[in-house]
């Protein structure tokens, strides 16, 4: 009888977080915290987790743009064959920094060919593009730098809406906190939905956003204006989207105003009528559920307050130029003029 040799232990996935002078601290620490938390859940379940290292070219102390100094290992001490994932943060000074970082770009070009996946957070996409990793691929970055990325690297396709993009073994994310969404997606790909959701809850992330969630949510846009009187109203609307009767009268009563004065003040402050605002909140919620849940289209229509599938379909066609079922299909990305441009 032959004796089978014991199987080799499954090792943790090694992740290198790349630092450079004037990197964005949250671009780095946000994903690092996600993987640290994922390790806790993995250990509870007896699963291989992550072996995380912060590296730089040459190693040593590296100062973030915020002034925090981080100690790093020398990236060259980690053979690429032993690395699973490389994650590159961004910086507000990306154009100057990437031009002065030839050694880092060269290391990325060489290393990425031998690791399972490479990812960028925010303007870190410029490093990936400079290293040739985004040639012919779709990518995203911070909304402020979208045009610069498209102009400087015309061989890539810039996705102006996405929170993060996966194209083959390369992942890119939108600005700053979108790196947390990217890291959650990487954890989900490695360890499954339940662990990713557990990490999101542990970190008190309000929502584990799907890749195609617009960089500017309707709630974020509403909060970006000087509208403290309407902040509580917007939260109430989100909590009651399933109620078809979100009328002007009811909304006015929530803020102790007459319907006429409320409609006028709301349009003046928010830039759209109350009815249009509710429609946009419903549309965004439906987009999220279509990509992030297994509910039927009819169930989503009712949950978001459209009343029925046909009304939701008409709304999708008017704002996005496609049907809910088309939006749900893999690979379909909402046009950039969809939720964020219509008023």
* Catalytic sites, residue numbers: 122
List CB contacts of 272: < 8 A, sequence separation 6 or more: 280, 343
Question: H-helix or E-strand containing 72?
Answer: strand 69-74
Q: How far is CA 134 from the centre of its chain?
A: 18
138 closest CA partner among 156, 125, 124: 156
List CB contacts of 142: < 8 A, sequence separation 6 or more: 90, 122, 123, 174, 175, 176
Cβ contact 93:120 at 8 Å? no
Query: Cα–Cα distance between 41 and 50 in angstroms, integer?
Result: 11
89 closest CA partner among 202, 177, 200, 199: 177
Cβ contact 68:1 at 8 Å? no
Query: Cα–Cα distance between 213 and 207 in angstroms, integer?
Result: 11
Residue-wise DSSP of 246-299: --HHHHHHHTT--HHHHHHHHHHHHSS-HHHHHHHHHHHHHHHHHHH----HHH
| Torsion angle of C-alpha atoms 89, 94, 97, 102, degrees rounded to 10 | 70
95 closest CA partner among 144, 167, 133, 161: 144
């Amino acid at each position: 009888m032959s004796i089978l040799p014991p199987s080799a232990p499954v090792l943790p996935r090694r992740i290198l977080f790349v630092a450079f002078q004037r990197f964005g601290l949250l671009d780095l620490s946000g994903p690092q915290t996600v993987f640290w938390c994922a390790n806790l859940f993995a250990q509870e379940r007896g699963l291989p987790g992550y072996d995380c290292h912060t590296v730089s070219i040459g190693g040593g102390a590296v100062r973030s743009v915020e002034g925090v100094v981080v100690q790093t290992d020398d990236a060259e001490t980690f053979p690429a064959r032993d690395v699973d994932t490389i994650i590159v943060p961004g910086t507000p000074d990306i154009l100057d920094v990437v031009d002065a970082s030839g050694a880092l770009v060269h290391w990325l070009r060489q290393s990425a060919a031998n690791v399972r996946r490479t990812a960028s957070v925010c303007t870190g996409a410029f490093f990936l593009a400079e290293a040739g990793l985004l040639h012919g691929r779709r990518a995203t970055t911070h909304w402020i730098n979208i045009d610069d990325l498209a102009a400087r690297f015309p061989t890539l396709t810039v996705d102006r809406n996405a929170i993060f993009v996966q194209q083959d073994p390369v992942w890119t994310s939108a600005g700053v906190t979108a790196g947390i969404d990217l890291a959650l997606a990487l954890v989900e790909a490695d360890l499954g939905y339940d662990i990713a959701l557990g990490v999101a809850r542990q970190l008190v992330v309000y929502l584990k956003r799907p890749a195609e969630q617009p960089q500017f949510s309707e709630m974020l846009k509403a909060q970006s204006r000087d509208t403290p009187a309407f902040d509580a109203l917007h939260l109430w609307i989100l909590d009651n989207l399933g109620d078809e009767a979100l009328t002007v009268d009811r909304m006015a009563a929530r803020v102790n105003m007459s319907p006429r004065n409320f409609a006028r003040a709301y349009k003046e402050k928010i830039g759209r009528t109350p009815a249009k605002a509710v429609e946009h909140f419903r549309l965004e919620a439906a987009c999220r559920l279509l990509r992030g849940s297994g509910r039927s289209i009819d169930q989503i229509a009712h949950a978001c307050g459209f009343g029925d599938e046909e009304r939701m379909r008409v709304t999708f066609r008017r704002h996005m130029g496609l049907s809910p079922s088309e939006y749900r299909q893999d690979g379909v990305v909402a046009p950039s003029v969809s939720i964020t441009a219509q008023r």
